[in-house]
Amino acid sequence: MTNLSVNLNKVALLRNARNFGKPSVIEAALTCIKAGAQGITVHPRPDQRHIKPEDVDALAQILTVEFNIEGNPSPQFLEIVRKIKPTQCTLVPDAPDAFTSDHGWDLATDGSWLRPIIGELKDLGVRVSLFMDTDLTQIERAKEIGSDRIELYTEPYATAFRNGNVESVFQDYQKAAHKAQEIGLGVNAGHDLNLQNLEKFCTISGILEVSIGHALIADALEVGLFNAVQDYLKILSFK
């Protein structure tokens, strides 16, 4: 079964629009857990536009499910991960001012300096995942430099699905997932997954985790967070 890790970035984004701490990231996490989510994901960006280091600290105190911290492995980010030692760290090649995450790693360029970071995090007991596109050679490099998993960046799939021409793109994700599994990498996925495109995506066998934030929090504005989480879990459990 594919685990659901709810990304709470957008709860923090709304919280930051005032200075009295509502909506609460902690309360949102507890609601997601009560609804059955198997994980919580946060992406503490350098500009702290949403998740702040103190959110990460507070979540670490209360989480009873997997904790996935995503980000570019800057010194400040690694300081957070070393302190928290989350279940999983997903390394993402985002620039500090990125509008959002919009590409996977180029490990031909970055693999050599990522390798020791991956090794350090694994030595700390943190599962390491690399945010990747569907390029098969890049996926092979992810294994070579020691990553435990990859997270397939799914915005191209989501866009093609929305545009009604998803089949060829979907096959790229099928091939990428199969290649990763063939060489011993676990496969996660995330970015712009939603209630409409998730079921098809999860027909790909062996997807271990989907991390979903933007669409799920948007859905929660209509049906409530508890119900939104359960709507996604219904799709995943029927897979």
Ligand X SMILES: CC(=O)[C@@H](O)[C@H](O)COP(=O)(O)O
Q: Which residues are catalytic?
A: 43, 70, 191
**In the set 3, 5, 7, 72, which binds ligand X (CB under 6 A)?**
7
> Minimal distance in Å, beta carbon 92 to ligand X?
5
**C-alpha span between 33 and 229 (Å, rounded):** 9
Q: With respect to ligand LD2JLWAY, which residue has the nearer C-beta, 43 or 143?
A: 43
**Phi, psi angle pair for 128, to nearest 5°:** -110, 130
Checking phi first, is residue 210 left (phi over 0); if not, alpha (psi -120 to 50) or beta?
A: beta
Does residue 12 interact with ligand LD2JLWAY by CB under 6 A? no
**In the set 2, 3, 9, 129, which binds ligand X (CB under 6 A)?**
9
**In the set 2, 3, 4, 7, which binds ligand LD2JLWAY (CB under 6 A)?**
7
> Minimal distance in Å, beta carbon 189 to ligand X?
10
Q: With respect to ligand X, which residue has the nearer C-beta, 111 or 156?
A: 156
- Residue number of the CB closest to ligand LD2JLWAY reads 190
Reduced to 3 states, what is the DSSP secondary structure of residue 207?
strand
Q: b vs e for 130-158, b when ≥16 Cβ sit within 10 Å of the residue's Cβ?
A: bbbbbbeebbebbbebbbbbbbbbbbbbb
Q: Where are the alpha helices (DSSP H) in the chain?
A: 9-15, 25-35, 53-62, 75-84, 107-123, 136-144, 155-163, 167-182, 198-201, 214-223, 225-237
Q: With respect to ligand LD2JLWAY, which residue has the nearer C-beta, 94 or 151?
A: 151
Residue 32 binds: one of ligand X, ligand LD2JLWAY, none (C-beta under 5 to 8 A by kind): none
Reduced to 3 states, what is the DSSP secondary structure of residue 2?
coil
CA distances from 150 to 9, 96, 142, 230 (A): 21, 21, 7, 25
Q: Residue 33 gets which letter from DSSP? A: H
> Minimal distance in Å, beta carbon 126 to ligand LD2JLWAY?
16
**C-alpha span between 103 and 9 (Å, rounded):** 18
Residues 194-233 that bind ligand X (CB under 6 A): 211, 213
Does residue 86 interact with ligand LD2JLWAY by CB under 6 A? no
| Residue count, binding to ligand LD2JLWAY (CB under 6 A) | 13
Residue 160 binds: one of ligand LD2JLWAY, ligand X, none (C-beta under 5 to 8 A by kind): none
Strand partners, 57: none
> Minimal distance in Å, beta carbon 117 to ligand LD2JLWAY?
19
Residues contributing to the site for ligand X (CB under 6 A) = 7, 9, 43, 45, 70, 92, 100-101, 131, 190-191, 211, 213
